[in-house]
Structure 1
């Protein structure tokens, strides 16, 4: 247990002082009682086997005062706090590669259906925000419990050129910071400006922690925030801040990121609806030719699992893989099982104060009962 204002624990000194005064008064009354040969007065002074009962009211009052002094110091304890009602930021990849048809009817439609099922399945207490990213990341819907607003924005997403995984993580951090004062907004970083392969390899990855892609993050030094980020992508970072850099910022703020790698390793032709294309119609040659090809050894139509696993390790989240629509729906449905609790400092001031009030009322009740009996 720790205390927010430990100096106020000094108020507890009044309890033994008052106890000393009470004991002194008892002895003084006893000496006065012995001075007179009045049997009734001797009995009133406390003779008899049940004399301890008359001390119960003052004991309860002193106990209440001690609890109030403790509450004023703002006691806190580390505890596992349920986060089923926490905020979830869904970061959805809407790059042109999401038009690949290796997942029927295409990756984007399958992702939209799975996310819709996830949103509709959350309880009314859960706030969900939507970040969409392609060549840049934007907050489409701030965290809200309004499911209609979320679903309308989800249905209206369109594809774009590029994949900015790192920027999506930073934008998700900023969305959390706007509603949680304990989470600072992201810091600006020097971002590479040109598309190119292997940007995730430019920053050194933190040392992997024991236990795979989940568990306590290597860089997770801050208190764990109740809010989480669910990042759904089908490719690799092509521009901007790297996933490794963004993950370090998330870990420093206690924000866990749960990346989901979506799609197969054999993407086929591109086929999106007119509404999904928006202003960008992707072609295979934009990604290096048929089958996706490679640019500098990186196939941007295939999930960059090493980078996503590193994000999970660094932030204390967990990486999931889904190769089809059914698998993605299952991953999203099972996700709350992996993020149900978080270690946080719980303020006990109110609880201790309520207990103190109850003890004080009990003491007053006992005193009134004795005075009327």
Structure 2
């Protein structure tokens, strides 16, 4: 209830320390002003205690209430309503180029490489509210899954829909995947343009040389982060398709063209990463997220509602009431 209730001048509350002094002064002064008559006996006197004399201290109580209300008014109580508005001053356009070849179903990451990537990429996308993001998928060939857009719902739906199928020719066309991603960004007017290229193999398909694609990225001012995903040594990977259409898995040597990925990243001003397990993959996307920051400008609007006026009016009313009592009912005691 009082979360947004503040005082502009709380230092005036120190004046409350004067009130006990005023009470002490009033008691001392009243005792000094009380007349005292000593007689041997009150027999023969009709003693009648008047109710006005007992109520006389109410004048002082009213005066104290007036002082307390004035102190609270001087402290300027008010409520504040804060509203914020954010805007991106330097948005980043990002294309995620994802290898969807059959080897991405290898189970050295849990539950497999592709699903592990989708889980981490989803969090990465949600954490980039001010950026536009697009998706490119590739195997033996490549195509755009979704162009760069600020609508994260569309991107997340497209990411969830990514899976291995027979639509794309099998293989790993790193050059084609990178070139398609460059094509998505070449006309972008964003201050920063980034490609996150992920693969688990070597370039063995496609008609575009990866080095040619990286030169295009340099020409259009696009930075490329490359990620090689897969454990060291052997990994349980698809090796054949059974009659029922399911994959048969067997241990296969993990081969990633790290030299090529390092060269692509280095020539474009990016960085190469190696993800050997789920945790490492999460760390990689977290590091890329920290390296590519979007400048956010936040505007805060404060709406103040001053509450001191009712206190001043109440203090004035009590003061007037006290003066009227002093000049009428309690006049004989002044």
Normalised TM-score (structure 1): 0.49
1:100/1:267 contact within 8 Å kept: no
CA distance in 1, matches of 2:124, 2:281: 10
Q: Deviations over 1:156-202 (max 9, x none)?
A: 1122511111111111111012433x9xxxxxxxxxxxxxxxxxxxx
In structure 1, the partner of 2:159 is 154
In structure 2, the partner of 1:36 is none
CA distance in 1, matches of 2:225, 2:89: 15
**Does 1:115 find its partner at 2:121?**
yes
CA distance in 2, matches of 1:169, 1:83: 28
Structure 1 runs (4+) greater than 6 angstroms displaced: none
Alignment of 1:154-233 (within 5 A): 154-159=159-164, 160=168, 161-180=170-189, 226-233=192-199
1:234/1:302 contact within 8 Å kept: yes
Shift of 1:341: 8.5
Residue 97 of structure 1 aligns to a residue whose secondary structure is helix
In structure 1, the partner of 2:213 is 246
CA distance in 1, matches of 2:110, 2:275: 13
Shift of 1:282: 5.7
Alignment of 1:255-334 (within 5 A): 255-270=222-237, 290-292=250-252, 301-334=254-287
Structure 1 alignment gaps of length 5 or more: 1-81, 183-224, 273-279, 285-289, 294-300, 343-373
CA distance in 1, matches of 2:90, 2:246: 39
**Does 1:95 find its partner at 2:95?**
no
Residue 212 of structure 2 aligns to a residue whose secondary structure is helix
Residue 235 of structure 2 aligns to a residue whose secondary structure is coil
Answer with 1 or 2: which has the greater Rg: 2
Change (3 A) 1:112 1:83: farther
CA distance in 2, matches of 1:91, 1:84: 23
CA distance in 1, matches of 2:246, 2:133: 29
Residue 255 of structure 2 aligns to a residue whose secondary structure is coil
RMSD: 2.7
Normalised TM-score (structure 2): 0.55
Change (3 A) 1:117 1:269: same
Shift of 1:84: 6.1
| Residues matched between the structures, number | 199
1:87/1:227 contact within 8 Å kept: yes
In structure 1, the partner of 2:317 is none
Shift of 1:131: 0.5
Structure 2 alignment gaps of length 5 or more: 1-87, 240-244, 296-334
